[in-house]
Chain A
């Protein structure tokens, strides 16, 4: 009962400076919303990447020439296939296409053989020359769809018309937004790739524990190659969406710095009015523990309310509004940024860390400045 009454007094005390404290909650909640939005967004993308890229090839073998990614000879496919432990080595044909009409970059992928009906494809995969399947982003940029034609300019500066046999569903945008899939033969012709060369080689390995060993053997056999393992691919996205890097770090630290300034302003001292009030309370029978509990409640009311409101705002912003405010930051200059709904993966550990990092310092910065006054004998009140 005593605790509830002290809470009641704390609330009355905060309401005495209603507008100031409401503004404080608003700013504090906004800071937390930004921090939490960054955490939610990066964690969601990281987990999405780790869940769906798990089926990426065990090894991708690139060829480097003068430090640059170069086309790989088809002879390497045979050498690699013969390494014990290798399941298959298949050449990949792919490249980039700059569309001057829409100022966007597309990724062109060549495929071979029969691919069964994919559940995320509306239509069918290309089975004849000059047929292609496009991602939803390409379709919306060029305002085309299944059944339409798509004209692209090849490396000889000649227009090539493809018949669109299928469009990837928008739910797969995170993977397929900028893709144009055609037969490998069409792609080789389109880019005028030299005969006997592929972009790189996709390798499957029977035993996942042997990936590093086989990568080493490939490098030994062909010193101009650069094998990229599946774990490196997956780690890339761990690093990309790590909140400790790049712009995410900038946003995160700016918000954290703003928060520290807020807490520091509180911590640098209490006003004469507050000191006088504490003196009066002590004089009329409140002891040090009661005063500190009062300050604790004042800190908790502001920080907990802000934290919860900020967290709710961040969740709604990221998972219902698709991070509208942050998306210009993460989009960069990508003309063709996919419209996708983020999967609401939540890391409870991160939430608790955020709570600890934001609530605790604020409560401490409310209690500590009052400490000295709270432990002082109230006779000074008699002297004021």
Chain B
């Protein structure tokens, strides 16, 4: 008649482990915020960077913030998405609007 003790104990250990991981997260984040983030911001500031260096497949995947809604189709007017990373980047919100807001390029 010990199964309930084992289950409750195991669940408690899982929760304890998770709590430890979350506490580890918080302390790591505050250490990184103190040590690494200011240094990265310094790089962004001095090199005037606008994007993360994640997907170097194509121009608009390397610099998604600089790409406009036409950029993926610059190869050809009806060019279908063929870069895998392009499927991770969702369409710009303007494409999802039902009415065009004046003044938006």
Contact = CB atoms under 8 A, between A and B. Distances in A.
Contacts of A178: 53, 56, 62
Contacts of A235: 93
Contacts of A56: 44, 48-50
B88 A240 contact: yes
Contact of B53 (A5, A12, A135, A309): A135
A209 B14 CA distance: 47
Contacts, number: 217
A333 interface: yes
A232 B104 CA distance: 11
A104 B28 contact: no
Contacts of B25: 319, 344-346
A228 B41 contact: no
B66 A332 contact: no
Nearest to B81: A246
Contacts of B7: 7, 11, 301
Contacts of A177: 53
A105 B57 contact: yes
Interface in A289-342: 301, 304-305, 308-309, 311-312, 315, 319, 330-338
Contacts of A239: 89-90, 92-93
A92 B48 contact: yes
A384 interface: no
B56 A336 contact: yes
Interface string A185-213: 00000000000000010100000000000
Interface string B13-27: 011011001101100
A312 B21 contact: yes
A247 B88 contact: yes
Given A60-B66, A67-B70, A175-B40, A4 B4 contact: yes
B83 A332 contact: yes
A296 to B, nearest CB: 14
Interface string B57-77: 111011111101011001000
Interface residues of A, number: 94
Given A68-B70, A336-B56, A247 B17 contact: no
A171 interface: yes
A365 B71 CA distance: 47
Contact of B3 (A8, A109, A236, A246): A8
Contact of A332 (B14, B64, B88, B105): B88
Given A172-B39, A305-B10, 15 more contacts: A8-B4, A12-B3, A45-B52, A48-B52, A52-B37, A69-B66, A175-B53, A176-B43, A245-B89, A319-B25, A331-B55, A331-B84, A332-B86, A334-B54, A344-B24
13 contacts: A54-B41, A62-B66, A172-B40, A172-B43, A175-B40, A181-B47, A226-B68, A227-B105, A232-B65, A240-B88, A248-B88, A332-B55, A332-B61
Interface of B: 1, 3-4, 7-8, 10-11, 14-15, 17-18, 21-22, 24-25, 28-29, 32-33, 36-37, 39-59, 61-66, 68, 70-71, 74, 83-93, 103, 105
